[in-house]
Amino acid sequence: MEKAGRGSEGGPRGPVLHIVVVGFHHKKGCQVEFSYPPLIPGDGHDSHTLPEEWKYLPFLALPDGAHNYQEDTVFFHLPPRNGNGATVYGISCYRQIEAKALKVRQADVTRETVQKSVCVLSKLPLYGLLQAKLQLITHAYFEEKDFSQISILKELYDHMNSSLSGTSLEGSQVYLGLSPRDLVLHFRHKVLILFKLILLEKKVLFYISPVNKLVGALMTVLSLFPGMIEHGLSDCSQYRPRKSMSEDAGLQESNPPADDFVSGSASNMSNTNLGTVKKIIAGNHGGDASIKTEKPFFQLEHDSSKGQEPSDTNQYLKPPSRPSPESSESDWETLDPSVLEDPNLKERELVGSDQTNLFPKDSVPSNSTPITVQPQANMGQVVLIPGLISGLEEDHYGMPLAIFTKGYLCLPYMALQQHHLLSDVTVRGFVAGATNILFRQQKHLSDAIVEVEEALIQIHDPELRKLLNPTTADLRFADYLVKHVTENRDDVFLDGTGWEGGDEWIRAQFAVYIHALLAATLQLDNEKILSDYGTTFVTAWKNTHNYRVWNSNKHPALAEINPNHPFQGQYSVSDMKLRFSHSVQNSERGKKIGNVMVTTSRNVVQTGKAVGQSVGGAFSSARTAMSSWLSTFTTSAPQSLPEPPDGKP
């Protein structure tokens, strides 16, 4: 990856491309107020003009609903300019200040508060490191109480480029601010479910407010994939912005015909209801208007019709009327390098083929000679080799996997103006974060919605839930993680790295897991081995783009990896407790049984009090014993994804 960049005014070489200030104007909305160097060469620092590829920059840097918070932090991704190069990584620090506190109040400041974001656009994914520097400067910039004092921003640009020049992407500084430890404490067993969802390249939407909690959780999940943050996101934002902002604002009164939603052009995408979009955009940064769902989300949905659209369909985005690319054999799923590198090729004729062919029982090797990647000696530093098909920098295990390539997007924060990407047929999948409730309402446009606040994973498709249903070995793995994290929870000397239960230790466990899983798929007689990982899950995974790209090469280093599940073994009483706890806590049937038991015991005790103290005392003792027994199961196993509707383990 190129690590040098030069500003239009001859600034120092380094990874930082621009320092940008985005403000909210009472008439014009979000707009760029300052950029150094100018975003478009030849323009002034105060130009509002944006490159076409970065037209969503103001809405990403100054997040939706920002007026509800005094400050916030945003991570976001921008596509490369002119279609060349790699992802541009954005880090934005938002703050607001009362207008009466300003020393110099400009004429266009007509509101009671002033809302601005200071943003860094970088070539390197150093989210936490850049955030730490940017927060200090943003604080100082606002303390000036005079936003015309831009010298501090120019100094920030020079300082960052001089201090970060030659910075390596190897080491713990890449993971600064991303804590798998906190993630495991919050999601517990479900961390493994999130891990497998992304391996399957599903459409995963994270939802929470404010944005700093959102992007922190999403990027921490990605940090569990070896090499993903460092080298796996360079192709994760290859999307096409809409051709006109009027389309984004939903200014068209009439809904376009269904055929418009399936066009390959990014400009012909679905629009939300005019009134809904106007209401949301108007209330984004200045008003108190908010939209609330009338219907709560539940962890399991049993709608046999599988239709997620309510009767008032005008409030929701329309899904494509033809099969989405991830369900078909298309140009991003083939392993022919000439096809993968040709962006002009469209979906192949196999779109209408029998769906059973998409999930072969055995991995079919390519007829061509596989490319062999020889392991090299590790001299204290990871040896990286350019992937001939993935285009990513890979280690000798083939990490990172080519998940975020060929139309599978990673958008840590997604602005409302980007909602069309959810139904864009050129986007085969995504891992995206949102704070606007409109995204959460569009549940028919995603495979899973992750409610970060409640640590819930809502999966609409029963078949996908069965694929992700944890095996006994997976439950042991999750229990092992949770126990080590919770046991050290109160250790004041634990800083998150280097100790059992710390951040680096957790990432190492997931590296062992994915290496063993990959090694297991290469075994000739591997049915029994794969059953510990979930045979149906592995079969579906083998059909994904990332696995096919990985399997197109040979990785001899995996010969040293034990292909067995790290937690394989004979069933025991503790496994029965894990499975029982998993069923009771997370299946609808188990929850109902638990609620009935609690209600019944309460009613019986009340009845016992009416007929005699001795009877009531006996039932009270029984209820206490039952509660103690259930709590034993609850504390012995992590939380997990809901069971399939049939309730079978």
Which of 121, 156, 150, 154 has its CA nearest to residue 136? 156
Contacts of 358 (CB under 8 A, 6+ apart): 327, 328, 329, 543
Supply the pLDDT for residue 72: 93
Indicate if 159 and 190 belong to the same structural domain: no
Indicate if 49 and 149 belong to the same structural domain: yes
Supply the pLDDT for residue 493: 55
Residue at a domain's end among 139, 165, 191: 165
Supply the pLDDT for residue 596: 55
- pLDDT 10s digits, 160-202: 999 887 777 777 789 999 999 999 999 999 999 999 999 999 9
Residue ranges of the chain whose pLDDT lies below 50: 1-12, 245-284, 286-380, 492, 497-498, 573, 575-576, 580, 584, 601, 604-605, 608-612, 614-616, 618-619, 622, 625, 629-630, 632-649
Both tokens of residue 223?
């940090």
- Quote the DSSP letter at residue 177: T
Supply the pLDDT for residue 252: 36
Residue 192: phi, psi to the nearest 5?
-65, -35
374-379 long-range contacts (CB < 8 A, ≥24 apart) are: 374/556, 375/555, 375/556, 375/557
Indicate if 135 and 216 belong to the same structural domain: no
505: left (phi over 0), alpha (psi -120 to 50) or beta: alpha
Q: Where are the beta strands (DSSP E) in 209-342?
A: none
- pLDDT 10s digits, 611-642: 445 444 544 554 554 555 445 444 444 444 44
Indicate if 149 and 85 belong to the same structural domain: yes
Indicate if 157 and 190 belong to the same structural domain: no
Supply the pLDDT for residue 49: 92
Supply the pLDDT for residue 585: 54
Indicate if 20 and 140 belong to the same structural domain: yes
Is residue 1, in this structure, part of any structural domain at all?
Answer: no
**Kind of pairing between the strands at 553-554 and 448-451:** unpaired
Indicate if 98 and 223 belong to the same structural domain: no
- Round to whole Å and give the CA distance between 205 and 626: 38
Is residue 564, in this structure, part of any structural domain at all?
Answer: no
Is residue 234, in this structure, part of any structural domain at all?
Answer: yes
Is residue 81, in this structure, part of any structural domain at all?
Answer: yes
- Quote the DSSP letter at residue 502: S
Indicate if 42 and 161 belong to the same structural domain: yes
H or E element: which one contains 608?
Answer: helix 588-611
CATH number, residue 200: 3.40.50
Whole-structure pTM value: 0.71
b/e map 345-357, b = 16+ CB within 10 Å: eebeeeeeeeeee
Cα atoms in the Cβ-side hemisphere of radius 13 Å centred on 155: 10
Q: Helices marked H in 249-381 — which ranges?
A: 274-282, 337-340
CB 91 within 8 A of CB 134: yes
Is residue 131, in this structure, part of any structural domain at all?
Answer: yes
Supply the pLDDT for residue 352: 34
**Could you tell me how far CA 610 lies from the centroid of its own chain?**
55
Supply the pLDDT for residue 482: 93
Indicate if 111 and 202 belong to the same structural domain: no
Residue at a domain's end among 436, 453, 468: 468
Indicate if 40 and 136 belong to the same structural domain: yes
Q: Work out the number of other CB atoms within 10 angstroms of the CB of residue 603.
A: 11
Contacts of 7 (CB under 8 A, 6+ apart): 18, 36, 37, 157
Is residue 95, in this structure, part of any structural domain at all?
Answer: yes
Indicate if 122 and 225 belong to the same structural domain: no
Residue at a domain's end among 441, 468, 495: 468
Indicate if 155 and 207 belong to the same structural domain: no
- Host domain of residue 463: 180-239+383-468
Supply the pLDDT for residue 362: 38
CATH number, residue 27: 3.30.450
Contacts of 124 (CB under 8 A, 6+ apart): 1, 3, 15, 89, 164, 167, 169
Classify residue 310 as exposed, middle or buried by CB count within 10 Å of its CB (0-12, 13-18, 19+): exposed
Total number of domains constituting the chain: 2
Is residue 537, in this structure, part of any structural domain at all?
Answer: no
- Quote the DSSP letter at residue 224: T
Is residue 336, in this structure, part of any structural domain at all?
Answer: no
